[in-house]
A and B are shown apart, each in its own frame.
Chain A
Amino acid sequence: MTSPVIELKNASKDFEQGGRAIPALAPTGLNVANHEFVALVGPSGCGKSTVLNMVAGLFPPSGGQVLYEGELVADLNRRVGYMTQKDTLLPWRTTAANIAAPLELACRAMPRSERDDRVARMIELVGLKGFENHYPGELSGGMRKRAALARMLVYDPDTLLMDEPFGALDAQLKLVMHEELQRIVGDGRKTVLFVTHDLGEAIALADRVVVFTSRPGRVKKVREIELERPRNVYRVRFETAFGDLHEELWNELKDEVRKGTDA
C-alpha cells in the first residue's frame, strides 16, 4: 500500500474554555489512503470536526502530529476543499459567479474563457443548468448544496473535507445528494474525509467507517465497508450486508451517543 494522504499520529486537541483546557480529541491515530472515502461518525462534540479542521490546517493539534502527503500540516492546507453543513455560498453572487469564485483567485489565474468553460462544465455536472443566473436566495436547499459542491470541485482539490454537508437536508434530498456525490467523486477519483452523525449515510458512501467515542473523542472502531461499488444509494440500505454492518456499528455507537446525551 502506498503511503497515506492523511495521517494523524497521536494527534490530540484541547480547547481553552474559561481558562481551562477542555480535551476535545484524545490522542488519535488515523490513516487515509489516496482516493479513499473515509467517514467519521460519532456523537456530537466528539471531535470529528476537529479532525477535519486540523487536516485543513485551520488550527494545529495540541499534541501529536497531523501529516498531509507525508508533510506536517503547518499552515492552511490549500490542497483540500472544504464543505460544511452551513450554507457558505455568497448571497450577492449568482450560482455561476459563486462557482467561479475559486477560479478568480490569483493563485490559479486563468483566462476568462477557460474559467467560463470550467464553470459551465461544473454546472452541467451537478445538474444546475438553467439556474446559472439565480441568486442563492432563489435556489432550493438541495440546489444550494449542489452549487456548494460545484464550487468545491471546480478547482479540483485532491482531497475533500466534508463536515456534515447534507445534515440540513431532508431524508429524500439527502439520498439524491448521496447519489450525486458518488457519481461525481466516486470510483476513487478523490480522497474524501466525511464527517457525519448519520450512520446509514456513512455506510452507504464510505470505504471505511471510523466510529468515535463521546468527548473527548478517540477512535473506537474502524470498519471496512465491503459493499460493492458503484452502489445504488437507494437500494443498498435494503441489502443484508448493509443491515449487518449497521447493526454492528450501531452497537459500537449507541453507548457513545447515550453517554453524549447524558453529559
Chain B
Amino acid sequence: MAVAGWRVALCAAVFGAWEWYGQAVDATWFSAPSLIAARLVQWAGDGLAGHVAVTLGEMATGLAVGVPLGTALGLFLGRAPVASVILRPIIFALYSVPLVTLAPLFIFWFGLGMLPKIILVAIVTFFLLFFTTFAGVQTIDRDLVSSFRLMGATDGELFRKLIAPACTAWIISGLRLALPYSLIAATVGEMLLAREGLGYLLMYASQQIDMTGMFAALVVLMIAGVAVGELANLAERRLLRWRTSP
C-alpha cells in the first residue's frame, strides 16, 4: 500500500506542477493536463475511435501476416542447416536496414491508405518472429531429438510434439517484442503520410503547432502501448503456465 501511495503522490506532484505552470505561466509549449483531458473528451465525441480503429486494424492485420510467416520460416530454417547457412546472412542483411525507414517506399508503392502500414507492420514483425523462433529451434537439446526419434516419432510427430512446443517460449517472447513494434511501425507509417490513424492525429497536431493535440495523441498512444503490453503478458501467462512453477 505504501508503494501505491508514493506512486499516486509522485504523479499528483508532477501533474500538479504541470497544471500550475500551464495555468499561471504559459500553456503555449507544454499545454496543461486539464487542457489535454478536455481535448481527449472532445475527440472522444468526434472520431477518436475511428483513428484508434485504423491504427489497431493496421497492427492486427500486419501481425496476422508477419507473425505466422516469420514463425514458419524460423521453424523451417531452424531444422534445415544447409538452407539456413545460405539464407541467414541475406536475411540478416535485410534486417539490418532500420525497417521503419522503408515506410516512404511502401507509401510510393501502395498509396495513402492502410496497406503500406500493414505491410510495414508485417515486415517488422516477420523478422522479429523469424529470429526468435530460429534461435528457439537451435536451443532444442539434441539428445531430446534423438530420444524422440528412437521412440519412433515420425518427422511430423517430432515437429508437433517436440519442436513446435519447445519453441513456444521463444515464439511468445518474439510476440512480446512484435506487439509494441507493430504499434511503432503503424504509427511511424501514419506519421509520414496518412489521412487517419493515431500517427496521423499526432502529425496533424504538430503541423498546427497544437501542443495540446500532440499530448492528447501521445496519451492515446501510451494507453494503446500499455494495453498491447498487457495483452502480451496475458498471452504469456496462459501459454507458459509450466514456467511459472517454482
The chain A residues found within 8 Å of chain B, CB to CB, are 56, 58, 76-78, 80-84, 86, 88, 90-93, 101-102, 104-108, 134-135, 137-138, 155
Inter-subunit contact A77/B151 (CB<8 Å): no
Interface of chain B, helix or strand or loop or mixed? helix
Inter-subunit contact B151/A105 (CB<8 Å): yes
Known contacts A105-B157, A106-B157, A138-B246; A92/B168 CB under 8 A: yes
The chain B residues found within 8 Å of chain A, CB to CB, are 141, 143-144, 146-154, 157, 161-162, 165-166, 168, 240, 242-243, 245-246
Inter-subunit contact A77/B150 (CB<8 Å): yes
- Give the residues in chain B near A88, CB-CB below 8 Å: 141, 143-144, 147
Inter-subunit contact B146/A56 (CB<8 Å): yes
Inter-subunit contact A135/B150 (CB<8 Å): no
- Give the residues in chain B near A108, CB-CB below 8 Å: 152
Inter-subunit contact A82/B168 (CB<8 Å): no
Known contacts A84-B143, A92-B168, A104-B161; A76/B154 CB under 8 A: no
Inter-subunit contact B161/A101 (CB<8 Å): yes
Known contacts A91-B242, A92-B242, A138-B245; A76/B161 CB under 8 A: no
- Give the residues in chain B near A81, CB-CB below 8 Å: 150-151
A115 to chain B, nearest CB (A): 14
| Complex: chain A residue closest to B144, CB-CB | A88
Query: In the complex the two chains form, what is the Cα distance from A76 to B150 in whole Å?
Result: 6
Inter-subunit contact B165/A78 (CB<8 Å): no
Supply 19 A–B pairs (Cβ within 8 Å), ascending by A: A78-B150, A78-B152, A86-B141, A86-B143, A88-B141, A88-B143, A88-B144, A90-B166, A92-B166, A92-B168, A92-B240, A92-B242, A104-B157, A106-B154, A107-B152, A108-B152, A137-B242, A137-B246, A138-B246
Inter-subunit contact B246/A76 (CB<8 Å): no
Inter-subunit contact B151/A101 (CB<8 Å): yes
- Give the residues in chain B near A86, CB-CB below 8 Å: 141, 143-144
Query: In the complex the two chains form, what is the Cα distance from A233 to B189 in whole Å?
Result: 71
- Give the residues in chain B near A138, CB-CB below 8 Å: 245-246
| Complex: chain A residue closest to B246, CB-CB | A138
Known contacts A58-B146, A82-B146, A91-B242; A102/B157 CB under 8 A: no
Partner of A137, one of B148, B161, B162, B243: B243
B154 to chain A, nearest CB (A): 7
A170 to chain B, nearest CB (A): 21
Query: In the complex the two chains form, what is the Cα distance from A183 to B18 in whole Å?
Result: 76
Inter-subunit contact A135/B152 (CB<8 Å): no
- Give the residues in chain A near B166, CB-CB below 8 Å: 90, 92
Known contacts A84-B143, A105-B157; A155/B151 CB under 8 A: yes
A256 to chain B, nearest CB (A): 25
- Give the residues in chain A near B144, CB-CB below 8 Å: 86, 88, 90
Query: In the complex the two chains form, what is the Cα distance from A88 to B151 in whole Å?
Result: 13
Query: In the complex the two chains form, what is the Cα distance from A92 to B165 in whole Å?
Result: 8
B238 to chain A, nearest CB (A): 13
B235 to chain A, nearest CB (A): 15
| Complex: chain B residue closest to A103, CB-CB | B151
Inter-subunit contact A76/B149 (CB<8 Å): yes
Please provide the 7 A-B residue pairs with the shortest distance between their CB atoms, ordered closest to farther: A107-B152, A102-B151, A137-B245, A88-B144, A135-B242, A138-B245, A92-B242
- Give the residues in chain A near B153, CB-CB below 8 Å: 105
| Complex: chain B residue closest to A57, CB-CB | B150
| Complex: chain A residue closest to B154, CB-CB | A106
A85 to chain B, nearest CB (A): 9
